[in-house]
Every structure is written in C-alpha cells, then in structure tokens.
Structure 1
Amino acid sequence: MRSFATITTAWRRQATRTASCRSTYFAVRFNSSVTPRHVNNTNPVQELQQRGLVAAMTSPDLVDHVNAGPTAIYCGVDPTASSLHLGNLVTLLGLLHFHIKGHTTIGLVGGATGSIGDPSGKSTERQPMSAATLAHNVAGIDAQFQQFFKRGRAYAQNRGYEVEGHGGKVKVVNNKTWFGKLSALDFLGDVGRYARVGTMIARDSVKSRLESPQGISFTEFSYQLLQAYDFWYLYHEDGCRIQLGGSDQWGNITAGIDLIHKKKKTTEEQVIISNGADEKAIAAYGLTIPLLTTSTGEKFGKSAGNAVWLDERMTSLFDFYQFFVKTADADVGRYLHYFTLLTSEQIQDVMTQHNAEPEKRIAQHALAKETTELVHGVDAVSKALLATHVLFGASLENVKGKELIDAFEHDSRMISLSRDQVAEMSLDRIAVESGLCSSKSEAKKLLKSGGFYINNIKAADTAYRIGEKDWIDGTVCVLRSGKSNYKLVRASP
C-alpha cells in the first residue's frame, strides 16, 4: 500500500495540471513513512469497528460469517430526493468496505417504500410524492449508486487496495419490483400474519410517535413490515445475509431478521430447518452505523439547514470541498477514519502535522481532497482546488479559460451571455444581468465604493465596458462584489 506521501504527491501532480494554482490551498504538503500493508486481508466488520463505524450488531457471529467466505450485504435508501446526501455517505462507505474485499454489495432503492415514508427519526409524517417525482428520484439514486461504487473502486485502488479481481459484485435493485406483484391481501396474508402488533408498537420508531401529539398513521406503522420483507426477499433471491443501516434502522432490521426466521420460502426449507440445520449456516445479520453528529451535537451533513448533496449539480464541487475544509478540529480526526480509506497510521501522520500547525488546516484539506476524490472522482479534486483558488480572490493571470469552465460546469455561479451582449452593457447592468446584484442602484453603489472586481482586479471606472482583454482565453470572465460574491460569465455562441 502506498504511503501518504505518495498519495499527496499524486494530488500535487493533479493540481499542477492547472498552472496558475499557486495559492496556499495548493501548498499543503504531507510527509509520511507509513509501512505498506495488505489491507484486503482485513475482515470488513472488524475494519469498520476499528474506524468507529459500528453502533451495533445483531450477533457477534457476524464476524465469523464474513470470515467464512464471500457473503452479500445490502443497504436501502428511500428516494426522498433525486440525490443522496452526506448523511448517506457513511453507510455507502460501509458497503464499500465490503465490496472492495470481495463481498456482493446490493444497493436498494425504495421505489415502493418511498411512497410510504419511514417514521424512524421523524416527528411528523412525510408528505406523499407524485408518481412522476418518485420515478425521477428513483432514477437519480439508481444511477448514483452505480457511480459511487465505480468511483469507490478507483479510489480504493489509488489508495493501495488490491481491488482488481477481488472486488465483489455490485447490484442495484428497486423494491417496487417485488411489491408491485403483491396485492394488499397477498401482503397481509403472506407477511402480516407473522408480525406481532405488540412487538411492532414497542419499536422505538413507532413508540416515540405514538407518544407524540401527531401520533402515527397505519401507513407509517406498516413501514417496518415492508422493510422486513425487503430483507426476506433479498435473503432468498440473492443470498443476502446482512443488512446495513444507520442506528435508527435497528427496529426495521430486526423486523426483517424475525421474518426470515419465521417465514420460510418453501415447505422443503421448513423441513430442513426442523431437522436440525446449523443455525449459523442459515442466519441473517444486522449491522448498524452510528448516526453522525458534530462535536457540538449538530446533525452531520447539514449546512445552514441545507443538505450537502452528492450530486455536483445540486452541491457544487467548491461547496462540497469547502464543507469538509470547514470541519472543526474536534471532528476532523474522526471524520478521516469515517470518510476515507486512509490507514490509521496515515491518519495519525496527518493529525501530527495538523496539530503542529493547526492554522494551515492540514487535516481538513486532506479530508476534503479524499472525500472529493471518493465521491466525484480524481479529476474533481483539481477542479475543486481551482474553484477554491478563484473564489478566494487569487490572481487569475495564468488560469486557462477551459479549466475555469470545467471547474464550474455545474455551479450556479456560472451563467452564459454572448460577448456582443456583454460589450453593450454598462457595469451596473451586467452586475444585474449576471445576478451579482439585485438592482442597478445596488450595483452603482458597489462601483462607487470600489467593491466591484473583474477577474479579481478592482474596476475603478464606472464607465468601463468589458472588452476583449477581460475574456480569459476568449471564453469566460470572473465578476466579484465584495469579498466573496462571485459570478462567472461564460461566452455563449
């Protein structure tokens, strides 16, 4: 396995593709003499435990089950949006640890359960989605599952994991596939008869809602049976023996294990079990990951009330990167264990250097680079670094126009206007047209106060017109008001 110094050399090599990137964000350096190790020999359950990512297991036999040979594990996500967010990333990492060590990984998109809504951790009932919205969200998350494991494999290989020929199968399924074939009577008769109402009421997700003023609808009350059937179905159809989820999913996971124990697929299966089959050989397991909060108790992945999405069209590369750069010192060491595949030795090396010069935020930049590469790919790191370079007011003298456009491809800060249009506009008008200011009067005040910048150079002349020399490589120019409000204008055909 490569040392952290080797990894960061690759980062710097990637960054130098952008010749202008000379800011301190590119100057963070690491040195490490970590001894390589063959990481694929580690049991993924034990690996997660070492990283602090196991809240509970339904049985300690899970470790032996995984040691016995390749198995299958699944985690489900309801499509409440068209993208997953950082709150989902920790469970995705859990699946990735199994995948890169040769186990079959199943991502379940809740096309059926998404129309119901999981009451776990919710104080009120979720508003129902239209069929069109649900279908759109299912398609988005299905594609995101596939993309995450593709990029996750590449990221793991770049960190020294011997994934090639060892990575397990990845499968993405939609539970509407099997629920769509069941009528209400079929479900109640075939699944409902195995559920005990007393047990269902006692589960935390239901109990807390029963005690609230809002109560709980029968629809939400039945959710645990639907998720239980998901596990039962995958157990029998795909040989899936493990369900992974956040700690708030414990009740739903154990409901699935109960159903697997009680409801047999065939009479022959029941006879085999009744005749003394090895319980460990047929057991199903649950594994939960702690719900993450910051050191101040805030829910992880929330920024001013807004989720940080894994889709760069919803959260830009710059904003994704900066979320991790802003991590508190009290949290960054823990997050390096959670959200990266760096070894404990490499993380310790980073933290040692960080503690020596905390003002450089060495650990935060390491975390941001690692997670950006994991989620968005290796090229996204240089794009995020370039965006950081630009949006922190550094010189744009050597920046290439195409690199700027690529770095801000899905960023709402970039708009398109024709060069002819721009040439005819006064600066106060282009400030409004670009969205930099809300009105011409605001823009005029900005110009008079010296707070308007073109390509990070102050525009002092209110009569100035943007011309040929302001277009970087003839394709883009950068407008700024104050210290941090940016718009990039791309020259449209």
Structure 2
Amino acid sequence: MPLRASQLGHRSWRRALRQRAVTRRLNYSRNPFDLGDTRLLDELKDRGLVAAITHPELRIHLKKPSCVYSGVDPSASSLHVGNLLPLITLLHFQSYGHKALALIGGATGSIGDPSGRSTERPPLSPSQLQENVAGISAQVHRFFSRGNEYISERKFGKQRATDPGTLEVLNNYDWFKNMGFLEFLRVVGKTARVSVMLARDSVKSRMSTDQGISFTEFSYQLLQAYDFSILYRDHRCRVQVGGSDQWGNIVAGIEMIKRLQSDSGEGTEAAKGADGAFGLTIPLLTTSTGEKFGKSAGNAVWLDETRTPVSEFYQFFFRTADEDVERYLKLFTFLPFDVIAKHMKKHDSNTKSRWAQYILAQEVTELVHGRVALKRAQGSQDILYRRAPRDIKSTEVLDAFDGDHRLVRVSWKDIKGLPVTKIGTMFGLWKSRGEATKAVSKQRSVMITDRKIDDPRDEMIRGDLVDEHIAIIRWGVKHVLILYVDDAYPEESES
C-alpha cells in the first residue's frame, strides 16, 4: 500500500520511507530475482539456466526489447551438445522479443580461450579456421530457424512475445583484422589493469602449473572484453551470456565499456549508460556422476548430422540416467513445467519404460534437427533396439539410415571369408584389430545380427544376412555397424 504523508507525521513518514528503502535493498541482496516483471529471468532461473547475473537491474532492463549476445569458439567446424545451453538460452531471449546475436570468434579462435583449460590449445591454420567459422555460422542460422519453428508448431509461445526478436551472426575478425598492435595497446590496453587480469581464475589456475600461460592466452580476456564494447557501441547490445567459466571475461567487458565511455569524454552520461551492460552466466553442466556433459566417452556428440548421425544424437539423450532426466527436460526443452511434471509422474510409475528419456530425446532432436529427421531417428531406434533382427526389411534400413555413416554398402566377394573383427575394423567400428579382439575375447560384447561372436577369428556367413542383404554388427549397446550386401545372389556358391 502506498505511504501518504497525511496518514503519518512528517518525521514518521520519512522514517517509513527510509525503512522501505532498506527493506528493498535487503531483498536485492537476498534474491535479485524477486524484483520487477521478469517472466524471462524467472523461467531461465527455474529451468536451471542461470548461475549468476552481474547486476539485479538486469530484470528491469529486460522489460523492454534488448540485444543479447553469446560468443561461439570456432575450434571445430561443428558445434556439439556442450554448446546447446548458450544457444537455447539465446533462443529463450529471442522468443521473448529480444534480439539474439551470435558472435563467432574468427579472431579469438586463432588464440583460444584459456578458461577451463590446463594446457594451451593447438593453433588452427587460417584455412581451417575459416572453414570452422563458415560451418558454425551456417549451423547457428539453422538452429534458430528450426528452434523458432519448433516453438511455433508446438505452441510453446503463449507466454512469450507475439513477434520473436531477430537473429544476427557476426564474426569478431571483422573489427580485429585491421587493428594494429599499437592501436590495440592505445585503445584496449590502456583500459586494462594488470593486477585485475592476474586475479582472473583462468589465469591464476594456469600460472600455478608447470606450463604456465602464454602472453597470447593472457591477452584473450582483453579481446573478448573489446568484443562486448564493440557490440555495445555499434549494435546496442547490452547483455552477454556465457558459461560460468566466462564470468571474469564478461565482467572485464563491462569494465572496459565503462572506461572507454569515460575516456571518450561522455562524462556522467557515459558512466550511467555503462550501467546498462549486463552479464548472465549459465551453470557448467555435468552428469549426476560428475562427468562433463556430452563427453563421457571421450567423443563429442556433434550437432552436424554428418559427424554424429541423428539416430546417434537421439540415442545420446535417450540414454540419459534417471537421476538427470528431469533436470535435462527443463534445460534442453521448452516444455512447460506442468507438462514436465506429468511426464515425470508417468515415468516414475514405471522407470523401466524410460518414458521421460523418450520425451527428452524426442524434444531435443526435433529442436536441433527438425521433425523429418526426428521421424528418421525414431525409425532407426525401432530397427536397432526394438525389433527382432529377423523381422527387419532391407528397404526399411536404407530409408532409416540414409546418409548415416554407420551404413556401409559392400559386395559379398569383398567380405566373404573375412573375420567379423576384420570387417568391423575395415569400416570403422573399431580403431584396430587389437581393440576388436579385446571386445570379443575379454568384453564378450560383439554380435552379428542375432549371433554372438565368441572367437576373434569367427567369419561372417551368409546366414548372418537378414532379408538377404542386411547384417548388423553390434559392439555393446552404443556401437553399431550396418552392412548392406548389394549382390544378394552371387554367382559363386558359398563354400
């Protein structure tokens, strides 16, 4: 209820106002998410997508359309599932009417961010870096196009903006390519304080190792900070989103914006404007067993379906542990919380059904790869894990695994008489015959179609073929090689 001077004595009224101000400040410090109309921040927080924000005024700033950016490191030609959370967070911002800006590190990618690393990244050649930038740029555009389609078709936008914000993909090489070293020192270097740079966790952790940190990596935080200042100045971008390990770099950007504006002579208005620069960090995701998300087996799960087939991508999320699945439903999907609760209730009634994992795999695959690819992935799932091998038709396999690197077309004369271990090694199921022999002799985890391989010398026979064309070599649950034998009726008879 508003306080009125007529209701209180003059002194009591002023004292009440001061008390209310103190109470508001205490609320700020206790929980900065309790202020203002911030459906977006509330949703991000409830989904587990917020580790920290640089200033509680962010929730007030986001009442009006703003511009939000996240950087992407072009260390490979494709993103992987570990990159999904920043992209999904940007998609949330865009769906609430804010402009999303993805910044590809064409310049900083040649150096490498030392955050979260114990050793320096190997340098990329200019041609490789250019290829990576092009591949990731196209991938980001596809992700947001499919993401907006997913939100619209699934009608997840009821509480969001009527018109989603726009997307722009930029490359920081565009403003660094013509900047000389002296100009960098004059414009950027003078805003930095070495004591503050040394205090960054990414620097301190490396300086305590035998390898130390190179001057190149030490300077990385200045480059990323300058990125934020350029986007702030030229694109009116006020918010940076990054992983928890990016906190120091984000704060460095905000400080650089303040210093550059102050040095430009804009005075108090410049300082006031710099208060409009904010940072939001996302928790670094690990599984319930403490492993880094997406790399538990040492191999990245890529968003590029030519590197990780859609059916493998689907399987990765379908194999999520029960302890993680509810958290992942909140993080990786746009399903409303009440819908997630219903799915979890159904899942908990019969955990063997893996209902929650099925929903998770379905939602994330459609979000990233689209509805057509999802149907293909579900067809692959049905063939590999639900149907009896002898019930599979060769035409179904060709349709479901079209473009999948695990499907190999061969001629019978090229594999006749060869051990299954040699065939699997030839086509990439194993890295070496030694690994194949270990899988058979020690792990005892190799099957071809419906026959277990007990001896590394066991050869493939015609009886292993399903529908006269298909043979499936399995190594455990995760690894599969599908052979399609073109000549179903070779002229020579099998000896």
TM-score over 0.5 for the pair: yes
Q: 1:191·1:225 contact (CA, 8 Å) conserved in 2?
A: yes
Residues 399, 381 of structure 1: CA spacing in aligned structure 2 closer, same or farther, 3 A cutoff?
farther
Cα deviation 1:132-176 (Å, max 9, x = unaligned): 211111111111111110111111113213489611110111100
Counterpart selection for 2:114 from 104, 107, 119: 119
Cα deviation 1:272-327 (Å, max 9, x = unaligned): x43x5793686100000000111222111113112211112222222212221221
Q: 1:224·1:252 contact (CA, 8 Å) conserved in 2?
A: yes
* Cα distance in structure 2, aligned partners of 1:251 and 1:88: 19
Residues 468, 51 of structure 1: CA spacing in aligned structure 2 closer, same or farther, 3 A cutoff?
closer
Query: Which of structure 1's runs of 4+ aligned residues deviate more than 6 A?
Result: 436-439, 457-463, 465-468
Q: Secondary structure at the match of 2:62?
A: helix
Q: 2:104·2:169 contact (CA, 8 Å) conserved in 1?
A: yes
* Cα distance in structure 2, aligned partners of 1:351 and 1:468: 38
* Cα distance in structure 2, aligned partners of 1:462 and 1:248: 50
* Cα distance in structure 2, aligned partners of 1:106 and 1:492: 48
Q: Which amino acid aligns with 1:138?
A: V
Q: 1:369·1:381 contact (CA, 8 Å) conserved in 2?
A: yes
Deviation at 1:360, TM superposition (A): 0.9
Cα deviation 1:368-418 (Å, max 9, x = unaligned): 11111111111222222221222226246776655533432343211133x
Counterpart selection for 2:335 from 312, 331, 342: 342
Counterpart selection for 1:43 from 36, 39, 45: 39
- Give 1:422's aligned residue: 412
Q: 2:82·2:293 contact (CA, 8 Å) conserved in 1?
A: yes
Q: Which amino acid aligns with 1:170?
A: L
* Cα distance in structure 2, aligned partners of 1:326 and 1:214: 38
> Based on CA coordinates, which of the two structures has the bigger radius of gyration?
2
Q: 2:258·2:274 contact (CA, 8 Å) conserved in 1?
A: no
* Cα distance in structure 1, aligned partners of 2:486 and 2:422: 18
Q: Secondary structure at the match of 1:123?
A: coil
Counterpart selection for 2:85 from 65, 70, 90: 90
Deviation at 1:465, TM superposition (A): 7.9
Q: 139-148 or 41-50, which moves further after superposition? A: 41-50
Q: 2:419·2:460 contact (CA, 8 Å) conserved in 1?
A: no
Q: Which amino acid aligns with 2:124?
A: M
Counterpart selection for 2:224 from 197, 202, 227: 227
Counterpart selection for 2:302 from 296, 309, 322: 309
Q: Which amino acid aligns with 2:225?
A: A
- Give 2:29's aligned residue: none
Deviation at 1:84, TM superposition (A): 1.0
- Give 2:138's aligned residue: 143
Q: Which amino acid aligns with 1:305?
A: G
- Give 2:14's aligned residue: none
Residues 393, 76 of structure 1: CA spacing in aligned structure 2 closer, same or farther, 3 A cutoff?
same
- Give 1:36's aligned residue: none
Q: 75-84 or 306-315, which moves further after superposition? A: 306-315
Relative contact order: is structure 1 or structure 2 higher (C-alpha 8 Å, sep ≥ 6)? Answer: 1
Counterpart selection for 1:489 from 458, 483, 487: 483
Q: Secondary structure at the match of 2:78?
A: coil
Pairing 1:48-447 to 2, within 5 Å after superposition: 48-67=44-63, 69-162=64-157, 166-264=163-261, 267=264, 270-271=265-266, 273-274=267-268, 276=269, 279=272, 283-392=276-385, 394-395=387-388, 403-417=396-410, 421-422=411-412, 426=416, 428=418, 432=422, 435=427
Q: 2:420·2:459 contact (CA, 8 Å) conserved in 1?
A: no
Q: 2:96·2:161 contact (CA, 8 Å) conserved in 1?
A: no
Q: 2:74·2:105 contact (CA, 8 Å) conserved in 1?
A: yes
Q: Secondary structure at the match of 1:167?
A: coil
* Cα distance in structure 2, aligned partners of 1:462 and 1:344: 50
* Cα distance in structure 1, aligned partners of 2:262 and 2:129: 30
Q: 2:244·2:283 contact (CA, 8 Å) conserved in 1?
A: yes
- Give 1:4's aligned residue: none
Q: 1:43·1:63 contact (CA, 8 Å) conserved in 2?
A: no
Q: Which amino acid aligns with 1:124?
A: T
* Cα distance in structure 1, aligned partners of 2:466 and 2:154: 45
Q: 2:258·2:271 contact (CA, 8 Å) conserved in 1?
A: no
Residues 235, 394 of structure 1: CA spacing in aligned structure 2 closer, same or farther, 3 A cutoff?
same
Q: Secondary structure at the match of 1:264?
A: helix
**What residue ranges of structure 1 are gaps of 5+ in the alignment?**
1-40, 472-476
Q: Secondary structure at the match of 2:291?
A: coil
Deviation at 1:487, TM superposition (A): 2.9
Q: 2:261·2:274 contact (CA, 8 Å) conserved in 1?
A: no
Deviation at 1:249, TM superposition (A): 0.1
Cα deviation 1:7-45 (Å, max 9, x = unaligned): xxxxxxxxxxxxxxxxxxxxxxxxxxxxxxxxxx97322
Deviation at 1:426, TM superposition (A): 2.9
* Cα distance in structure 1, aligned partners of 2:131 and 2:69: 22
Q: 164-173 or 359-368, which moves further after superposition? A: 164-173
Q: Which amino acid aligns with 2:183?
A: D
Cα deviation 1:49-81 (Å, max 9, x = unaligned): 1212110001111111111x1110000011111
Q: Which amino acid aligns with 2:204?
A: K
Deviation at 1:260, TM superposition (A): 0.7
Structure-1-length-normalised TM-score = 0.79
Share of identical aligned residues, percent?
A: 46
Residues 218, 281 of structure 1: CA spacing in aligned structure 2 closer, same or farther, 3 A cutoff?
closer
Cα deviation 1:222-273 (Å, max 9, x = unaligned): 0000000100011111110000000000000011101111103995xx33x4
Deviation at 1:479, TM superposition (A): 3.1
* Cα distance in structure 1, aligned partners of 2:344 and 2:466: 47
Q: 1:423·1:465 contact (CA, 8 Å) conserved in 2?
A: no
Residues 158, 259 of structure 1: CA spacing in aligned structure 2 closer, same or farther, 3 A cutoff?
same
Q: Which amino acid aligns with 1:470?
A: E
Structure-2-length-normalised TM-score = 0.79
Q: 1:228·1:255 contact (CA, 8 Å) conserved in 2?
A: yes
Q: 1:386·1:407 contact (CA, 8 Å) conserved in 2?
A: yes
